[in-house]
């Protein structure tokens, strides 16, 4: 039954361009989809391993800038009168590069988390994102700083020299984002249900105990960090080639906060949580654009977040699930511990 | 597994909302306005938008355009180029504007330009000064503001009268600041005047003591300052606090001298400002009737007098667009584009019409506006005696 | 040489306000274990209160300053009672999220009420600087430095001489024992948050007239406060005070001699380095609080 629902949902999304051809709607869904991917990646760190990484937007931005720079080509004065010249690369290759570099930074953060925990880790991750933003802002030779990286080539796939397919229009971009989102969902689901996933949850619940049982804490933290960062990087890559312009403001803390809101209100530690949260917080601002000033909207989101933390501490999805279970008078599949 | 049904319900609801929200249009002629209403240069963006509103209301009071009312669709680009692109996309795709005005800063305008090409919608550029905008082969761009080169050229005669021997540059770190710095430096060097240090500052930076300390140590007699009015205020105050004696000349026309007097106090005295409208002396404008009328309407609305030096840009921009729509006979992007080449508008700054600039076959439109220089002395704005 | 002296003087003046910011946060962090995301917003709040009283209502500058600080304390207490007290037993993530929510609400409320256009606060001090040799000192900034130092000394005295201060130190050392000894932990928490917030508001009220007041000015201030807390060590009053000056020096000299653009980066690089090599802070040996 649930399988059918899931497939029906997917069918709805796949056929959507056929029955909703308003390009602006598609645009909103594409950008929302990109944020959903980023939220899912944050959920892996935040919800499943319990690491409050508040610098997550750094991976998003690093993926975006790397892919953009590789696809545009750049030259960099490396001192001593020499220049590093990198020619423009095919977009799909640049995209892979973006994901890889983001994952690399994820590895660094993962290793760092071994040394510092809790509140210190939060501060380090925030500082990391700020440093990356300031570097992007000031290293004008490389990133163009506030002048922004413009005219980034659109998404395309190609076989070098033989064939190239470029996605200029909204509909193909929508499908690419949908495909990456679905793929990311499956990866996370796979990971969470594997041994690695169970180890991560053990880590979140009680780290010393997990370590004492022989779970290699560092190893799993690093795995989670790398996958999470790479996925956020993938979202950033899609963003760069869809919006086709990026500037250092992409690293602003407010975007991390947006992702955090999506994950927390949707339900951290659940698979559907970030999807729901992402859809809600991606689409609602657009709908409310006519009705309320952006500041008022944000005040509402802030209040919403506080209320959810107070009353629905595990988020919308678990709350609705619990309600649904009570309504259908069937016991939940897994005994959940009561909310704090 | 029940989770998926929860997702479905919520997702469907969200989609339905989005669909509903996207519907709806009214029978007016829409003109898009893409300006920074919040962020580092919010003051200027708001002034320009106020001017635009005055123009739109005036047009509607006289019966509208082509028998319909003019509706300004105003959106905030948050002083950010990526957001400017998002706003342009929204204005074109969602609000279906046939023409727009924007985006204030050269960086935002440059960012928006590919979208104009992609969708084929003309934009009147009311403030941006980077030379790149009109020479990159974009036939959808029509600029009424001067380029930094034009500004520098217009100022060139005054450089001798000021007796400048050595000049430093303090510019905001974006296309506008850097372009202005480069253009003025070239002009000065062409006259054999020495150029000292060129310091840049981040648009949002508040503490400029490091840059100013270097400028103080350079021994120049003049500092050319290019940035938004908020940052000019900070520079004037901090320069005074550091005891810098060099004369400060602001470029770009976004200095709102009355705001400087109000916020920087006596630190503003002795500074000079290049402007494209001098609202203290509307009778000296090329179209004194238009200028006076605009100043009166602005004051009648109780708007901040300081904003007149920028508000006129919005006014002239919308009036130019209106002339284009009237000449085109329909609110259709390509028709408006063709019609804009032939407009002659009596604007607040002067007479507006477009000459061709840029690569052949893909020229952009450029106006040749008037340039004024004023001085702040004793808390008042005067025409300098040179 | 003149330039160097000027940079040193600038750093000294800036360091005082940084110290205020850092001390406030380290107290909250140390005693309550809360990552206070609203710290930057209290800083902004203090600045806007100056705009309200000194500019809109025309109140005397110094009275406005006092009012801004008092209101900052009150706002801090309100936030603590409304949002943190109910969260007392929760884990650090949850509390952090509540603080983030509060931060969003406060910053957007300020933007909504005051609009995004920068506001200026005029001061009664003369614009002409005091010139001593190659160094120029603005009177306003001198006042700010003096006021900051006075507040720091005042806070220090409060923590060491008053009963409430003693209760705060006891709670920091060992909360459970303090509770057993009859210390009203609730009151201590509220007082700590209120004091920390008051100091942040003071920093904002003092710096508002020096620069301009915008709704987002607190973001960078908050991040620098975190840097100072890390530098000085959690809950370490003296460490935070010294950390404030160190950060100011690193920033000022870095901006002056390396690159003005990377000014703000210095602080964050410092945090990362300190956390990697000496996580307990540069002054770990100094007394824990006070």
Q: Single out the residue of B262, B293, B287 nearest to residue B349, CA to CA.
A: B287
Residue B3 pLDDT grade (very low, low, confident, very high; cuts 50, 70, 90): very low
At A102 the pLDDT is: 95
At C124 the pLDDT is: 87
Do residue C35 and residue A301 have CB atoms under 8 angstroms apart?
A: no
For residue B4, pLDDT over 50 is answered with no
Quick one: B318 exposed, middle or buried, by C-beta within 10 A (0-12, 13-18, 19+)? buried
Q: Which residues of C touch B214 (CB under 8 A)?
A: 3, 256, 260
Q: What percent of chain A has pLDDT over 90?
A: 18
| CA distance linking residue B92 with residue B87, whole number of Å | 9
Mean pLDDT of chain B: 88
Q: Which range is least confidently modeled, A150-154, A322-326, B165-169, C261-265?
A: C261-265
Could you report the per-residue pLDDT of A261-309, keeping only the tens digit for each? 888 888 888 888 898 888 888 888 877 777 777 788 888 888 888 888 8
Average pLDDT score over residue span B78-95: 90
Same domain as B304, residue B195: no
| CA distance linking residue C137 with residue C130, whole number of Å | 5
Q: What percent of chain A has pLDDT over 70?
A: 93
Q: Quick check: C2 contacting B, CB < 8 Å?
A: yes
Question: Which residues of chain A from 267 to 326 reach within 8 Å of chain B, CB to CB?
Answer: 270-272, 275-276, 279-280, 283-284, 286-287, 289-290, 294, 316-317, 320-321, 324-325
Chains A, B: CB contacts within 8 A come to 126
Chains B, C: CB contacts within 8 A come to 83
| CA distance linking residue A54 with residue C223, whole number of Å | 13
**What b/e readout covers B337-375, taking b as 16+ CB neighbours within 10 angstroms?**
bebbbebebebbbbebbbeebbeeeebbbbbebbbbbbb
At A119 the pLDDT is: 73
Q: Mutating which of C56, C108, C141, C211 best tests the B interface, going by the most B Cβ atoms within 10 A?
A: C211
Chains meeting C at 3+ CB pairs closer than 8 A?
A, B
Which H or E run contains A3?
Answer: helix A2-19
Question: Which residues of chain C from 254 to 273 reach within 8 Å of chain B, CB to CB?
Answer: 255-256, 260-261, 263
Could you report the per-residue pLDDT of A180-190, keeping only the tens digit for each? 999 999 998 88
Is residue B353 in some structural domain?
yes
Do residue B37 and residue C116 have CB atoms under 8 angstroms apart?
A: yes
Q: Which residues of A touch B18 (CB under 8 A)?
A: 25, 28-29, 283, 286-287
Do residue B202 and residue C127 have CB atoms under 8 angstroms apart?
A: no
Mean pLDDT of chain A: 83
CA distance B178 to chain C (A): 14
Average pLDDT score over residue span B217-231: 92
Nearest by CB to residue A257, choosing from C98, C100, C269, is C100
Average pLDDT score over residue span C15-42: 90
For residue B311, pLDDT over 90 is answered with yes
Average pLDDT score over residue span B179-186: 94
Q: Single out the residue of A137, A70, B264 nearest to residue C140, CA to CA.
A: B264
End-to-end CA distance of chain A, in Å?
32
Q: Which residues of A touch B5 (CB under 8 A)?
A: 2, 5, 324
- Domain limits, chain C: 2-108+136-277
Chains meeting B at 3+ CB pairs closer than 8 A?
A, C
Do residue C83 and residue A306 have CB atoms under 8 angstroms apart?
A: yes
Could you report the per-residue pLDDT of A209-219, keeping only the tens digit for each? 877 887 777 78
Which one-letter DSSP state was computed for residue A54? T
Paired with C131 in beta bridges are C136
Do residue B230 and residue C118 have CB atoms under 8 angstroms apart?
A: yes
Average pLDDT score over residue span B12-25: 48
Average pLDDT score over residue span B240-250: 91
For residue B23, pLDDT over 50 is answered with no
| CA distance linking residue C201 with residue C75, whole number of Å | 9
Q: Quick check: C57 contacting A, CB < 8 Å?
A: no
| CA distance linking residue A263 with residue A278, whole number of Å | 7
Contact A74, A86 (CB under 8 A): yes
CA distance C269 to chain A (A): 7
Average pLDDT score over residue span A129-137: 88
Q: Mutating which of C36, C115, C265 best tests the A interface, going by the most A Cβ atoms within 10 A?
A: C265
Question: How many domains would you assign to chain B?
Answer: 2
Average pLDDT score over residue span B182-200: 93
Q: Which residues of C touch B210 (CB under 8 A)?
A: 7, 252, 255-256, 260, 263
| CA distance linking residue A159 with residue A143, whole number of Å | 28
| CA distance linking residue B84 with residue B102, whole number of Å | 9
At C257 the pLDDT is: 79
Q: Single out the residue of A242, A326, A276, A246 nearest to residue A47, CA to CA.
A: A276
Paired with A321 in beta bridges are none
Contact B379, B269 (CB under 8 A): yes
Average pLDDT score over residue span C131-154: 89
Do residue C118 and residue B37 have CB atoms under 8 angstroms apart?
A: no
Q: Which range is least confidently modeled, B14-23, B257-266, C144-153, C257-266?
A: B14-23
Q: Domain C2-108+136-277 belongs to what topology? A: ABC transporter involved in vitamin B12 uptake, BtuC (1.10.3470)
The helix-helix angle for C237-257 and C2-27 (nearest 10°) equals 150
Do residue B243 and residue C129 have CB atoms under 8 angstroms apart?
A: yes
Same domain as B11, residue B130: yes
Q: Which residues of C touch A120 (CB under 8 A)?
A: 230, 275, 279
Q: How many CA atoms lie within 13 A of A328 on its CB side?
A: 11
CA distance B7 to chain C (A): 23
Q: Which two tokens stand for residue C197?
A: 């917030």
Residue C289 pLDDT grade (very low, low, confident, very high; cuts 50, 70, 90): very low
Residue B96 pLDDT grade (very low, low, confident, very high; cuts 50, 70, 90): very high
Q: Is the dihedral of CA C33, C38, C44, C50 positive or negative?
A: negative
Is residue B376 in some structural domain?
no
Strand, helix or coil for residue A166? strand
For residue A330, pLDDT over 60 is answered with no
Residue B110 pLDDT grade (very low, low, confident, very high; cuts 50, 70, 90): very high
Q: Quick check: A58 contacting B, CB < 8 Å?
A: no
CA distance B174 to chain A (A): 5
Q: Which two tokens stand for residue A126?
A: 């925030």
Higher pLDDT, C254 or B261: B261
Same domain as B163, residue B134: no
Is residue B378 in some structural domain?
no
Quick one: A39 exposed, middle or buried, by C-beta within 10 A (0-12, 13-18, 19+)? buried
Residue C288 pLDDT grade (very low, low, confident, very high; cuts 50, 70, 90): very low
Do residue B39 and residue C7 have CB atoms under 8 angstroms apart?
A: no
Q: Which two tokens stand for residue A36?
A: 């959903």
- Looking up tokens 């989809």 gives A33
Q: Which residues of B touch C211 (CB under 8 A)?
A: 206-207, 234
CA distance B186 to chain A (A): 21
Report the C-alpha dihedral over residues C145, C149, C152, C153, rounded to 10 degrees: -170
- Looking up tokens 């928006």 gives B112
Extended strands (E) in A167-297: none
**B358 Rama class: left (phi>0) / alpha (psi -120 to 50) / beta:** left
Same domain as B153, residue B141: no
Nearest by CB to residue A5, choosing from B4, B18, B202, is B4
The backbone torsions φ and ψ at residue A293, rounded to the nearest 5 degrees and listed phi first, read -60, 150
Residue B319's domain comprises 6-146+290-366
Could you report the per-residue pLDDT of A84-124, keeping only the tens digit for each? 788 888 888 889 999 999 999 999 888 876 667 777 778 88
Which one-letter DSSP state was computed for residue A152? P
Residue A332 pLDDT grade (very low, low, confident, very high; cuts 50, 70, 90): low
Contact C24, C192 (CB under 8 A): no
Query: Which residue from A minimizes the CA distance to C110?
Result: A295
Q: Mutating which of A130, A144, A249 best tests the C interface, going by the most C Cβ atoms within 10 A?
A: A130
Do residue B243 and residue C136 have CB atoms under 8 angstroms apart?
A: yes
Residue B328 pLDDT grade (very low, low, confident, very high; cuts 50, 70, 90): very high
Q: Which residues of A touch C218 (CB under 8 A)?
A: none
| CA distance linking residue C3 with residue C256, whole number of Å | 9
pTM: 0.86
For residue B111, pLDDT over 60 is answered with yes
Nearest by CB to residue A124, choosing from C96, C229, C272, is C272
Could you report the per-residue pLDDT of C163-219, keeping only the tens digit for each? 888 888 888 888 888 888 888 888 899 999 999 999 999 999 999 998 889 888 898
Q: Mutating which of C260, C261, C263, C265 best tests the B interface, going by the most B Cβ atoms within 10 A?
A: C260
Q: What does the DSSP assignment read for C230-256?
A: HHH-TT-HHHHHHHHHHHHHHHHHHHH
Same domain as B133, residue B27: yes
Q: Which residues of B touch C127 (CB under 8 A)?
A: 237, 240-241, 265-267
Do residue B207 and residue C120 have CB atoms under 8 angstroms apart?
A: no
The total of other beta-carbon atoms located within 10 Å of residue A190's CB is 11
What CATH number corresponds to the domain at position B118? 3.40.50.2300
At C97 the pLDDT is: 82
Same domain as B268, residue B312: no
Is residue B382 in some structural domain?
no
Q: Which residues of B touch A272 (CB under 8 A)?
A: 3-4, 6-7
ipTM of the complex: 0.83
Contact A48, A189 (CB under 8 A): no
Do residue C33 and residue A123 have CB atoms under 8 angstroms apart?
A: no
Q: Which range is least confidently modeled, A124-133, B170-179, C49-58?
A: A124-133
Contact C236, C278 (CB under 8 A): no
């Amino acid at each position: 039954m649930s399988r059918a629902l899931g497939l029906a949902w997917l069918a709805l999304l796949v056929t959507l361009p056929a029955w909703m051809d308003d390009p602006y709607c598609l645009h909103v869904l594409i950008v929302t989809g990109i944020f959903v991917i980023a939220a899912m990646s944050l959920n892996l760190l935040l919800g499943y391993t319990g690491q409050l990484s508040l610098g997550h937007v750094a991976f998003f931005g690093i993926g975006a800038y790397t892919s953009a720079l590789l696809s545009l080509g750049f030259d960099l004065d490396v001192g001593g009168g020499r220049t590093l010249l990198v020619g423009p690369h095919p977009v799909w290759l640049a995209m892979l590069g973006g994901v890889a570099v983001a994952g690399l930074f994820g590895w660094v953060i993962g290793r760092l988390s071994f040394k510092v925990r809790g509140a210190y880790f939060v501060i380090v991750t925030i500082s990391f994102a700020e440093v990356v933003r300031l570097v992007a802002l000031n290293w004008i030779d490389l990133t163009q700083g506030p002048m922004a990286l413009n005219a980034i080539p659109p998404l395309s796939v190609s076989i070098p020299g033989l064939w190239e397919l470029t996605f200029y229009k909204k509909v193909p971009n929508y499908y690419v984002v949908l495909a990456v989102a679905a793929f990311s969902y499956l990866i996370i689901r796979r990971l969470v249900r594997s041994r690695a996933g169970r180890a991560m949850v053990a880590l979140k619940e009680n780290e010393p105990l997990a370590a004492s049982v022989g779970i290699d804490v560092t190893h799993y933290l690093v795995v989670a960090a790398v996958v999470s960062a790479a996925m956020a990087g993938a979202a950033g890559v899609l963003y760069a080639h869809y919006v086709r312009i990026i500037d250092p403001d992409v690293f602003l803390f407010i975007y991390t906060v947006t992702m955090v809101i999506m994950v927390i209100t949707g339900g951290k530690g659940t698979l559907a949580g970030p999807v729901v949260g992402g859809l809600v917080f991606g689409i609602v601002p657009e709908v409310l654009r006519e009705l309320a000033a952006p500041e008022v909207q944000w005040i509402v989101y802030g209040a919403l977040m506080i209320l959810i933390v107070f009353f629905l501490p595990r988020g919308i999805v678990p709350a609705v699930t619990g309600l649904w279970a009570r309504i259908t008078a069937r016991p939940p599949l897994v005994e959940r511990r009561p909310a704090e | 597994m029940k989770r998926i049904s929860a997702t479905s319900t919520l997702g469907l609801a969200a989609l339905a909302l989005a669909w509903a929200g996207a519907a709806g249009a009214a029978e007016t002629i829409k003109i898009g306005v893409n300006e920074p209403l919040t962020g580092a240069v919010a003051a200027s963006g708001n002034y320009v938008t106020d001017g635009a509103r005055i123009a739109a209301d005036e047009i509607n009071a006289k019966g509208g355009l082509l028998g319909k009312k003019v509706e300004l669709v105003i959106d905030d680009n948050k002083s950010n180029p990526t957001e400017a692109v998002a706003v342009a996309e929204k204005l074109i795709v969602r609000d279906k504007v046939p023409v727009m005005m924007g985006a204030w800063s050269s960086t935002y305008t440059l960012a928006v330009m590919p979208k104009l090409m992609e969708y084929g919608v003309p934009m009147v550029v009311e403030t941006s000064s980077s030379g790149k905008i009109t020479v990159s082969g974009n036939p959808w761009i029509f600029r009424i503001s001067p380029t930094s080169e034009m500004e520098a050229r217009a100022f060139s005669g005054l450089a001798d009268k000021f007796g400048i021997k050595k000049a430093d540059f303090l510019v905001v770190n974006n296309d506008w600041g850097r372009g202005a710095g480069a253009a003025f430096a070239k002009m000065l060097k062409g006259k054999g005047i020495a150029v000292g240090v060129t310091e840049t500052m981040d648009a949002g930076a508040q503490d400029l003591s490091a840059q100013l300390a270097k400028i103080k140590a350079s021994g120049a007699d003049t500092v050319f300052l290019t940035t938004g009015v908020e940052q000019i205020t900070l520079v004037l105050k901090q320069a005074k606090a550091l005891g810098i004696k060099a004369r400060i000349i602001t470029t770009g026309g976004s200095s709102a001298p009355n705001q400087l007097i109000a916020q920087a106090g006596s630190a503003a005295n002795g500074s000079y400002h290049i402007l494209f409208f001098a609202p203290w002396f509307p009778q000296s404008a090329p179209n004194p009737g238009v200028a006076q009328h605009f100043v009166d309407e602005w004051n009648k609305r109780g708007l901040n007098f300081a904003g007149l030096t920028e508000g006129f840009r919005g006014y002239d921009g919308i009036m130019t667009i209106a002339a284009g729509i009237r000449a085109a006979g329909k609110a259709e992007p390509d028709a408006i584009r063709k019609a804009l080449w032939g407009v002659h508008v009596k604007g607040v700054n002067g007479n507006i019409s477009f000459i061709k600039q840029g690569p052949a076959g893909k020229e952009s439109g450029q106006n040749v506006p008037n340039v004024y220089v004023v001085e702040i002395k004793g808390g008042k704005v005067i025409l300098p005696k040179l | 040489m003149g330039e160097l002296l000027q940079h040193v003087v600038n750093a000294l003046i800036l360091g005082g306000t940084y110290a205020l910011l850092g001390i406030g946060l380290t107290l909250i962090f140390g005693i309550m274990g809360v990552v206070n995301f609203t710290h930057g917003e209290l800083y902004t709040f203090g600045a806007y209160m100056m705009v309200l009283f000194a500019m809109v209502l025309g109140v005397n500058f110094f009275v406005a300053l006092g009012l801004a600080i008092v209101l900052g304390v009150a706002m801090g207490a309100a936030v603590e009672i409304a949002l943190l007290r109910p969260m007392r037993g929760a884990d650090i993530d949850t509390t952090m999220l509540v603080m983030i929510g509060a931060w969003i609400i406060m910053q957007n409320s300020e933007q909504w009420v005051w609009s995004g256009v920068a506001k200026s606060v005029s001061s009664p001090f003369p614009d002409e600087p005091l010139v001593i040799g190659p160094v120029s000192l603005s009177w306003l900034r001198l006042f700010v430095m003096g006021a900051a130092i006075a507040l720091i000394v005042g806070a220090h005295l409060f923590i060491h001489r008053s009963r409430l201060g003693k209760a705060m130190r006891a709670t920091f050392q060992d909360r459970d024992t303090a509770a057993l000894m009859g210390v009203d932990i609730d009151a201590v928490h509220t007082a700590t948050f209120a004091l920390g917030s008051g100091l942040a508001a003071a920093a904002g009220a003092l710096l508002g007239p020096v620069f301009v007041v915008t709704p987002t000015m607190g973001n960078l201030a908050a991040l620098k406060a975190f840097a100072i807390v890390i530098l000085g060590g959690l809950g370490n009053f003296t460490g935070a005070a010294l950390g404030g000056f160190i950060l100011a020096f690193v920033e000022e000299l870095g901006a002056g001699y390396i690159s003005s653009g990377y000014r703000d980066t210095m602080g964050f690089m410092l945090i990362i380095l300190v956390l990697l090599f000496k996580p307990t802070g540069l002054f770990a040996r100094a007394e824990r609080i006070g």
